[in-house]
Structure 1
Amino acid sequence: MRLTRHRRWMVPVVAAAAVGLALTGCTGDIAEQDAAEVDCADYEQYGTFDGAEVTASGTILDLEADRLVESWADFETCTGISIDYQGSSEFEAQIAVLAEGGNATDIGFVPQPGLMNRLAAGGWLIPASEAVEANTDEFWSEDWKKYGTYEDTFYGAPLMASIKGYVWYSPAEFEENGYEIPATLDELKTLSEQIAEDKGSPPWCVGLESGDATGWPATDWIEDYMLRMHGPDVYDQWVTHEIPFNDPRVAEAFDAVGEYLKSEEMVNAGIGDVSTLVTEAFQTAGLPIIDGECSLHHQASFYETFWNPEGGDEVEVASDGDVFGFLTPPANADDPLSVTGGGEIVVAFRDAEEVEAVRAYLSSDTWANNRVSLGGVISANTGVDPENASSELLVQSIEILQDPETTFRFDGSDLMPGAVGADSFWKGIVAWVTGEETQQVLDTIEASWPAS
């Protein structure tokens, strides 16, 4: 799934809702003074509002919430719109209840297309304005626009993005031992076996613990293997239930991943045995690479944020630094580049000019460049200059997303109905890595798929 800068991106602690107090609002003499210090040319198109306020919510927390608030500070100053953001790790569980009761925020940053579809089906969402749709048509691919569309109505533009299938490693260890970046899934398995033999310990470190969302990091493994082993058409059929969850091709992907996640020889380096997969937090699971105890860690581009925990030594993320990442390779060396990823859809629950002005700004290349320049994230917005990204890996990630030859597919569990993607799939993964057989797990997940 996805902090994703939603649950898969941020440590689920107290939200930084009040971070922007010093940045919000533009009234009176203070507003005039602030505006004089900001070049408002890029914001004239959004209009000016006298003391308008727009509320927003999502799963973006902590440092990323701080940067989010900073990304619209000049917009607030120039338009007079105050944006009050509230982050919560319970957003996904609560937003439909709040919407049904008429208590949702004006804007929601929804990290799952499946959840957006549920909100749209409930009749709670406001269709996107012409300005938002025009930006989306200009700056995103048709696939990305599709994720914000329900029953032919366009409800929201993408915000940020992530690439899920990175394998993090130590460049120094690879150079010292002559390890090469694998070009196929078979070569990845061979590399893993070679590292296990050389070190006499498992090569992979894995953490699946994420509170109520425990299990999601392993769904990312399954989705990567489904896309690479069976291609985008079968992947699409799987996430839309055109083929059942217990289809033999899904079992094949599970079993291929199981050669790592269910093997004492492959996991869990620097942490413990296989049983520790479900108790180790996803935020800390890759850190044994820094100490040389682990060699490989599968996690998204957003994991860059976690390499430098507060109070720790500075870790350089670079191809010649302390840690870097390569994409999970294809099944065959000549297969086209295919990646899974995630992001947020910006939806609205209130129909107002100031709300649509905010949404238009968030769908623009101006906002995307502002946010990417603040560090730690990427965007699939084609108007973003990749060089604005904060690291070599994030520059590479943006270039991958912008490449028209890249086959991109949204995180599968995020596309599935919530009863599967955010429930039985996660729970099934936990049962699976702790000993349950593949077919039994797949049959249970299949039985949970909603009838309509």
Structure 2
Amino acid sequence: MTRRRSTTVCATALTAALALGTTACGGGPVAPAGGDGKDKELAGQTLTVAGVWSGAEQKNFQKVLDAFSAKTGAQTRFVSTGDNVSTVVGSKIEGGNAPDVVMVPQVGVLQQFAAKKWLTPLSKDVEKSVDGNYAPVWKGYGSVDGTLYGVYFKASNKSTVWYSPDVLDQAGVKPPKTYDELLAAARAVADSGTAAFAVAGEDGWTLTDWFENVYLSQAGPEKYDKLAKHEIKWTDPSVVEALKTLSKLFADDKLLAGGRNGALATDFPGSVEKVFGPKPEAGMVYEGDFVAGIAKDEFGRKIGDDATFFPFPAVGRGKAPVVSGGDAAVVLKDGKNQKAAMALVEFLTTAEAASVWAAEGGFISPNKGVDLGAYGDTTLRSTAESLIKAGDSVRFDMSDQAPAAFGGTKGAGEWKILQDFLRDPSDPARTAAELEAAAAKAYRTANQG
């Protein structure tokens, strides 16, 4: 296993890089700096890396690229693709301007790239590092037909419920351990005069995350895997049962800030604001660990003090779920710098690389070699620790594994159908049938294409 250097050493290397060259946060290359001599054979090469990140995320990832430049002498240039990474990368390949490395945000997109023969299989050295530093489940999500194409560098723990301790204290409730306890706590919060949950129903992807956590806990990982691959239908009784469970929350207007109509008019940042903003309207908001970034950066909340979380609770007799998302580094065949690209991906498999961003916040790594002390606050350490401890029981976001027409399109497919369910959760069987019809069409089209 590759051992990480301390954050101080990484910071020193980064400082050297900045002293000897320009950063590429604005898109320009990073000049070579530092390194161990052996890797200087990459000096003079410029590596283009594409990904969805912008703003603070792009700046923090650039610090990782700077550390790579300091180590190897290779220059880097980051290109932000926006959310539609598949279309942007396809256009660049067609135009003869393919990036060398792409940070792919969805399993389904990685599989799509592989099917189109866009990807270079990762080297044996990269595979060895993945085997040593990651739980096998992550290698599986980065592989297609047994060939490793992607390394998951950044992950998220999407099984966290964020709350205001003051609101829960006022209601006299403690963080729940089961879904039934969650509902009871929600009713107590509502009875105390504050809505229990801010639900981001305007953003359909948040509703898929609600469903996935309930389904993984209640139906179990085997069923989850089958549904994710559409090996069982969405009309399966397990799906209907999960929708019934979710409806116990969604059907009770007094538990939701603004009721169901208010939830449908609330986007994700707005849902965080309703709990942690200047005029709180709710006590809790469900979403991944990235809630902390908004609560801290936008509303000045101190994470772990006046903004904290509890794990998404177990449903019925199931185990507490751990649903994750993440961004995988892949090497494009049409990139002009294959050797440097592979070297970067190998660097991204190390705890050293992950520790650079971990120190900045807004990031957790699936790399089990990362020292928890590298994370900037105790809350991030807790979310990272739960992700690592989950091991092979972690399941990747189901909608991100589906064809985009079903699991990743605004106003269509799963997003739209679950919004309709939030609007009227009275008939879970009908919703399951609608989900199956949309899924069948999307998978059929994907298989044909």
* Fold shared per TM-score above 0.5: yes
1:68 aligns with 2:61: yes
SS for the counterpart of 1:284 is helix
Superposed CA deviations along residues 23-43 of structure 1, whole A, max 9, x for unmatched, are 7122xxxxxxx53xxxx35xx
1:330 to 314, 320, 324: 314
Letter in 1 for 2:100: D
How many residue pairs match? The answer is 410
Superposed CA deviations along residues 243-286 of structure 1, whole A, max 9, x for unmatched, are 1012121122122212223431221x2xx331232332202212
Structure 1: give runs of 5+ residues left out of the alignment: 1-16, 27-33
Cα deviation for residue 442 of structure 1 reads 2.5
**Residue 57 of structure 1 contacts residue 91 of structure 1 at CA under 8 Å; is this kept in 2?**
no
**Residue 337 of structure 1 contacts residue 406 of structure 1 at CA under 8 Å; is this kept in 2?**
no
Report the Cα distance in structure 2 between the residues aligned to 1:119 and 1:276, rounded to whole angstroms. Answer: 38
Cα deviation for residue 73 of structure 1 reads 1.1
User: What corresponds to 1:283 in structure 2?
Assistant: 269
User: What corresponds to 1:55 in structure 2?
Assistant: 48
Letter in 2 for 1:340: V
**Residue 105 of structure 2 contacts residue 327 of structure 2 at CA under 8 Å; is this kept in 1?**
yes
**Residue 20 of structure 1 contacts residue 69 of structure 1 at CA under 8 Å; is this kept in 2?**
no
1:357 to 334, 338, 343: 343
Report the Cα distance in structure 1 between the residues aligned to 2:98 and 2:245, rounded to whole angstroms. Answer: 42
1:429 aligns with 2:422: no
Letter in 1 for 2:328: I
SS for the counterpart of 1:367 is helix
User: What corresponds to 1:298 in structure 2?
Assistant: 286
Letter in 2 for 1:343: G
Report the Cα distance in structure 2 between the residues aligned to 1:445 and 1:100, rounded to whole angstroms. Answer: 34
User: What corresponds to 1:7 in structure 2?
Assistant: none
1:123 to 111, 114, 117: 117
> Cα–Cα, structure 1 residues 45 and 438, in superposed 2: closer, same or farther, change >3 Å?
farther
Moved over 4 A (4+): 20-23, 44-47
**Residue 235 of structure 2 contacts residue 436 of structure 2 at CA under 8 Å; is this kept in 1?**
yes
Report the Cα distance in structure 2 between the residues aligned to 1:220 and 1:67, rounded to whole angstroms. Answer: 26
Report the Cα distance in structure 1 between the residues aligned to 2:38 and 2:219, rounded to whole angstroms. Answer: 46
**Residue 202 of structure 1 contacts residue 264 of structure 1 at CA under 8 Å; is this kept in 2?**
no
Indicate the structure with greater helix content. Answer: 2
SS for the counterpart of 2:431 is helix
User: What corresponds to 1:133 in structure 2?
Assistant: 127
Q: Identity across aligned pairs (percent)?
A: 26
Q: How does 1:198-213 map to 2 (within 5 A)?
A: 198-199=192-193, 201-209=194-202
The TM-score, its normalising length taken from structure 1, stands at 0.85
Cα deviation for residue 178 of structure 1 reads 2.6
Report the Cα distance in structure 2 between the residues aligned to 1:309 and 1:208, rounded to whole angstroms. Answer: 23
**Residue 125 of structure 2 contacts residue 346 of structure 2 at CA under 8 Å; is this kept in 1?**
yes
> Cα–Cα, structure 1 residues 245 and 416, in superposed 2: closer, same or farther, change >3 Å?
same
Q: How does 1:386-397 map to 2 (within 5 A)?
A: 386-397=372-383
1:188 aligns with 2:176: no
User: What corresponds to 2:394 in structure 1?
Assistant: 408
1:239 to 228, 238, 241: 228
> Cα–Cα, structure 1 residues 121 and 86, in superposed 2: closer, same or farther, change >3 Å?
same
1:142 to 128, 136, 141: 136
Letter in 2 for 1:443: A
**Residue 336 of structure 1 contacts residue 407 of structure 1 at CA under 8 Å; is this kept in 2?**
no
Q: How does 1:102-121 map to 2 (within 5 A)?
A: 102-121=96-115
Cα deviation for residue 434 of structure 1 reads 2.6
> Cα–Cα, structure 1 residues 251 and 104, in superposed 2: closer, same or farther, change >3 Å?
farther
**Residue 43 of structure 2 contacts residue 73 of structure 2 at CA under 8 Å; is this kept in 1?**
yes
User: What corresponds to 2:430 in structure 1?
Assistant: 440
Letter in 2 for 1:439: A
Cα deviation for residue 336 of structure 1 reads 4.2
Letter in 2 for 1:74: A
Cα deviation for residue 49 of structure 1 reads 1.9
Letter in 2 for 1:117: Q
**Residue 400 of structure 1 contacts residue 406 of structure 1 at CA under 8 Å; is this kept in 2?**
no
Report the Cα distance in structure 2 between the residues aligned to 1:304 and 1:193, rounded to whole angstroms. Answer: 25
2:362 to 373, 376, 380: 376
Report the Cα distance in structure 2 between the residues aligned to 1:208 and 1:59, rounded to whole angstroms. Answer: 23
- After the TM superposition, which of the residue ranges 241-250 and 404-413 deviates more from structure 2? 404-413
Report the Cα distance in structure 2 between the residues aligned to 1:177 and 1:202, rounded to whole angstroms. Answer: 11
Structure 2: give runs of 5+ residues left out of the alignment: 1-22
**Residue 337 of structure 1 contacts residue 405 of structure 1 at CA under 8 Å; is this kept in 2?**
no
User: What corresponds to 1:317 in structure 2?
Assistant: 303
> Cα–Cα, structure 1 residues 431 and 97, in superposed 2: closer, same or farther, change >3 Å?
farther
**Residue 307 of structure 1 contacts residue 315 of structure 1 at CA under 8 Å; is this kept in 2?**
yes
Superposed CA deviations along residues 366-397 of structure 1, whole A, max 9, x for unmatched, are 10111211222110101101121122221011
1:346 to 304, 323, 329: 329
> Cα–Cα, structure 1 residues 216 and 45, in superposed 2: closer, same or farther, change >3 Å?
farther
